Structure 1
Amino acid sequence: MTSESKKLPVGFGRLWTAQTVSSLGDGVSHAALPLLALTLTRDPIALAVITAAGTLPWLLFGILGGALVDRWDRRRTMWVTDAVRAVLLAVPAGAAVLDLLSVPLLATTAFLLGLGGLFFDTAATAYLPDLLGRDPAVLERANSRLRSAQTAASGFAGPPAGSALLALGRAVPLLADALSFAVSAALVRSLPPVPRPLPEARESLLRQARAGASHVFRDRLLLGLALRPAVGNVAFLALETVLALFAHERLGIGAFGFGLLLTAEAAGGLLGAGLASFLGRRLGTGTALTCTAALEGFAILLLAAAPGPYVAGLALALCGAGVGATMVLAPSLRQAVVPAHLMGRVASTSRMLSMCAAPFGAFLGGWLATAYDVRTPLYAAAFLLLAMTAVTSTMTGNRRVEAALRAAAATTAPTTSAPTTDPAPVPQPTA
């Protein structure tokens, strides 16, 4: 039976449902939290603090979080994290009912939700190849379905639902998000146990974290896969910082039209995620990744030169398609070639690099727009994306990808132990 014809296991359906429900809740809270903040303050610095608080966990604990996930049972990490996040959201919901909401409370909530997201996302990335095996074609199909559902839930359905629920009461969207986490936790708890990586020699947490980061930086393929989102985040944050201003001043688009632009980008993301496996089979994963990177760069170049809203919408849709396909192909390849016992650390290191790069992009976009012109950050973003494509094309080319897949398939040393009927308790890190 070929990889393309293999059926995904029943457990994947539950994982897909859990992540889709959780993504819907994320979309609700992403729309509701800024609106809740606006009911408390109009201070831009205070609003920025709430927004930044959600990204801080990746900057502070990204590598260490991956090392912990590699020590812990991944299924248990996911469902416990979502259960804790459900309980956590009851605090600001209760404060909203009692009229005790504050900026520090919202910032703390955003930080703790981001910390939970670090553990859940890293554990989910590591759990998927444990559940499905390391067949690249199967992983691409699974990631395509996950990415499409997450985009639809958090990008299309969640934000308008969050705005509508907020009209019913300040606590309502928070409770809806809490319910989504509770449902996700219950579904993940019911997932089947999987073979677990054999424990490494007992080392300090910092030494294990360092080993995971070194594995990324010493492997040209993994480094290339990590550089793509890192440089991409600089470019995309430079773009996003001025996109609303660009749409208003140069395209003559109001608030409703700006929402349609973002919808066009999300629609392109859905299309790209759906086509990712096809592109990988026809072009090879390495060539497909190079093509999607180039598509993103040329799409932003088209956006910068767009004479009107229709061309701008097309450009954002093309960019979204490139990003959507990349977000299926790159994680699937990483899951196929990284040893199971390192998966959490490699995933979190790559994610941390991209999160650290994002603030530089925001600063770059604001500075270029102030010093030159509102279109300048868009041209700079396009240049960065195309330069990154040229640099990483050899690092993630078809030959290197095929060599890495052969090496992973040829590994004969046992890396897993037999599955148990229930995961062992989550061990606590030593001092």
Structure 2
Amino acid sequence: MTEPKMPRAFGRLWSAATVSSLGDGAYLAALPLFAVALSSDPVVVSLVTVAALLPYPLLGLVGGALVDRWDRRRTMWLADAARALLLLVTVVAGAMGLIGIPALLLLAFLLGVGELFFDTAAQAYLPDLLARDRTLLRKANSRLRGASTAAGQFLGPPAGSFLFSVGRTLPFVVDAVSFVGSALLIRSLPKVPPPPREPGRSLWADAREGASYVLRDRVLLGLALRPAVGNFAYAGAEAVLALYARDVLGLHSVGYGLLLAAEALGGLIGAFLAGPLEKRLGTGTALTVTAVAEVAAMLVVGFASNGVGVGAAFVLCGCAMAATMVLGWSVRQAIVPARLMGRVGAASRLVSISAGPVGAVLGGWLASVAGLRAPYLAAAGVLAVMTVVVAGMTSNRRIEAALAAAAARPSEVSSVDG
């Protein structure tokens, strides 16, 4: 049987995502450096990261409901255009010496709002563009994840650090240009009419419907728990990674950077291993295997005595996380009704992102009372429990049944225009 062909429009979407990821990588590397240049207070500096994450717990559910009401293609390119304008205003303000910590916090928050709307709309638009074809969705998510890792984690951060050393606002210029390029590419994509919705419903009622849909569906709940528990465990481990690398492994800043690069390398590999794993094992079993790999990686880090072993563990961990994301996104996009895609995606991401700060605080506390190895061993334990709990929720049988039920539903989306 011949596999379906990827539409040419996906190439433009992929290009837009790659360009935007490169700019984001530069910006995200420069943002904390800018904060450190303005204040030496670690609490103040950490608030910049918090400000960038705040839009999800504050606006995530409502944002998902709005995306399901709006034209998703238009939402994406307008979000990019708005972020480009915001960054250009920041560059002008920086040239005039008007940027302080409050302005930086506002910038991080508003860019986070733009990211929320763009990412939610993109995840909802993709299954419409690809006619919810399972094979195409997996391939598309693999390519998007690989591009995001290569541009946003390998190329962008070192470029951003270098550009910041030349001029503090120069990385913001690069990010603004990337958003302009992305907006132009996305505006050229085919139009997909918004799915029909029940008239007269309030925005909050729509938002609650998306959250309750996730909670009632065992497959979707399992797919939401994986990144949520993973972020909780990894945030606790990574919160003390710089100290662990220095005090336990005897690594300096270069060695620490290599550990981060090892995780990014694993992510790049995992994005393209997701397909072969799924074909050989089935989606549910592949998800269980990646969960076991994450447990093993954290155990190795917790007991390791040298940087080589830890680096290998980080490659394995990054590989497993990326494969999990590709498989999880593809299943969700194939089984969720089009009219709920934005809300379900936003609700799932809200849970996963909100778990990270809690895990980071607990990881720091655990390291202070039980030593720097403790957060990694605790992370392994938490991930092991999650593996057992979620394995039955996302088994091959359950996922295949969900895919069959989705295929039997009448289509809610008109044909792609363009």
**Which one of the candidate residues 267, 290, 306 is aligned to 1:292?**
290
Aligned equivalent of 1:359, options 357, 360, 380: 357
Alignment partner of 1:188 out of 186, 189, 202? 186
**Candidates 35, 55, 60, aligned match of 2:58:** 60
TM-score by length of structure 2 reads: 0.98
1:253 alignment partner, SS class: coil
Is the 8 Å Cα contact of residues 80 and 185 (structure 1) preserved in structure 2? yes
8 Å CA contact 1:90–1:174 kept in 2: the answer is yes
Displacement of 1:168 after TM fit? 2.0
Separation in structure 2 between the aligned mates of residue 197 and residue 37 of structure 1, nearest angstrom: 42
Q: Distance in 1 between matches of 2:127 and 2:331?
A: 11
1:416 aligns with 2:416: no
| Alpha-carbon offset, residue 202 of structure 1 | 2.8
Letter in 2 for 1:359: P
Q: What's 1:425 paired with? A: none
- Within 5 Å, which residues of 2 pair with 1:20-419? 20-411=18-409, 413-419=410-416
Distance (Å, rounded) in 2 between the aligned partners of 1:415 and 1:91: 40
User: Using the alignment, how far apart are the partners of 1:236 and 1:321 within structure 2?
Assistant: 14
Aligned length: 418
Q: 1:198, 1:417 within 8 Å by CA — same for their partners in 2?
A: no
What is the distance in 1 between the residues matched to 2:299 and 2:200? 51
- Structure 1, unaligned stretches of length 5 or more? 422-431
- Matched residues in 2 for 1:97 and 1:170: separation? 9
Q: CA deviation at 1:6?
A: 2.2
Aligned-partner Cα distance in 1 for 2:143–2:362: 34
Distance of 1:262 and 1:71 partners within structure 2: 39
Q: How does 1:10-25 map to 2 (within 5 A)?
A: 10-25=8-23
For 1:419 and 1:372, locate their aligned partners in 2 and report how far apart those are by CA, in whole Å. Answer: 56
Cα-to-partner distance string for 1:82-113 (whole Å, 9 max, x where unaligned): 00000000122112211221000010000000
- Percent same amino acid among aligned pairs? 57
What TM-score comes out, normalization by structure 1 length? 0.95
When residues 195 and 277 of structure 1 are mapped into structure 2, their CA distance, relative to the original with a 3 A threshold, is farther
C-alpha deviation, 1:195, in angstroms: 4.6
Query: Any idea what the Cα deviations from partners look like across 1:276-316, whole Å, max 9, x if unmatched?
Result: 01101110000001110110111111111111010000001
3-state DSSP of counterpart to 1:245: helix
Mark the CA change 1:420 to 1:199 in structure 2 (over 3 Å): closer, same or farther: farther
SS across alignment from 2:6: coil
Provide closer, same or farther for how the CA distance between residues 96 and 126 of structure 1 changes in structure 2, counting only shifts above 3 A: same
Residues 212-264 of structure 1 deviation map (CA, whole Å, 9 limit, x = unaligned): 11100000000000011111111000001111111111111000011011111
C-alpha distance in 1 between matches for 2:383 and 2:313: 14
Whether the aligned pair in 2 keeps the contact of 1:239 and 1:377 (CA below 8 Å) is yes
Partner SS state of residue 54, structure 1: helix
CA distance in 2, matches of 1:200, 1:23: 36
- What residue identity is the alignment partner of 1:58? Y
Distance 2:197 2:40 in 1: 51
Distance (Å, rounded) in 2 between the aligned partners of 1:367 and 1:165? 35
Contact 1:196 1:419 in 2 (8 A): no
Task: Confirm or deny: 8 A CA contact 1:130 1:195 kept in the other structure.
Answer: no
Partner SS state of residue 190, structure 2: coil
Measured in 2, the distance between the counterparts of 1:366 and 1:196 equals 45
Amino acid at match of 1:415: E
Equivalent residue number for residue 428 of structure 1:
none
Quick one: which amino acid aligns to residue 347 of structure 1?
G
- Paired residues of 1:298 and 1:386 also in contact (CA < 8 A): no
CA distance in 2, matches of 1:414, 1:21: 32
The answer to whether the 8 Å contact 1:268/1:317 transfers is yes
Matched residue type, 1:316: F
TM-aligned CA deviation for residue 167 of structure 1: 2.1
In structure 2, the gaps of 5 or more residues are none
Q: What amino acid sits opposite 1:149 in the alignment?
A: A
CA offsets 1:131-164 (integer angstroms, 9 cap, x no match) = 0011211111000000000000010000010011
2-structure distance, mates of 1:110, 1:233? 21
- 3-state SS of paired residue (1:417): coil
- Contact 2:128–2:416 (CA under 8 A) maintained in structure 1: no
* DSSP 3-state at the match of 1:416: coil
**2:319 is aligned with what amino acid?**
A
Q: Helix, strand or coil for the counterpart of 1:209?
A: helix
What secondary structure, in the 3-state scheme, does the structure 1 residue paired with 2:240 have? Answer: helix
Give, as a single letter, the amino acid of the residue that structure 2 aligns with 1:82. Answer: D
Aligned-residue CA RMSD (Å): 1.1
Tell me the SS of whatever aligns to 1:276: helix
Task: Measure, in 2, the Cα distance between the counterparts of 1:202 and 1:124.
Answer: 26
What is the distance in 2 between the residues matched to 1:419 and 1:141? 19
Instruction: Tell me: CA distance 1:419–1:288, structure 2 relative to 1, closer, same or farther (3 Å).
Output: closer
Partner AA of 2:136 in structure 1:
V
